[in-house]
Amino acid sequence: MVGSVALPCGLPPGQQQFDMYGICTDNTYTSFLINPLSMNASTRAERIEIRATAELKAALEKAAQLQDQTLSAFVLNASRDAAARVLGDQTRFTLTEPQMKALNQALDAPARELPGLKRLFAKPSVFA
């Protein structure tokens, strides 16, 4: 991910792999990134109840069985991964190298003088 603004992947360059959402597939990075979403068994006290069709439940049970997981573990893992993608979409973005250079130049440039803003700050505050 050239010019990525996200936290770096824990793997060395050339070995880094990212999923279709730009999330590093290195488990160390992912667990660091989604630490609030970790599933420590000793802290899982909350319940989530959902309703599903018989067909969907059967499909989930089959998928869980194929992954050698309980239905609860399978659904929680899939939900946690989906939450990480959604939350990651709100906190990270990726730029190409030219876009990253342009962003850095804009951030490093001196501030423009805005006469209207200068006049506004010269007036007394309405909250004073």
Q: What is the pLDDT of residue 3?
A: 41
7 band by pLDDT with thresholds 50, 70 and 90: very low
Mean pLDDT confidence for 52-68: 96
Mean pLDDT confidence for 96-122: 91
Q: What is the pLDDT of residue 30?
A: 44
Contact 60, 54 (CB under 8 A): no
Measured CA distances, 82 to 76, 77, 79, 89, 116 (Å): 10, 9, 5, 11, 45
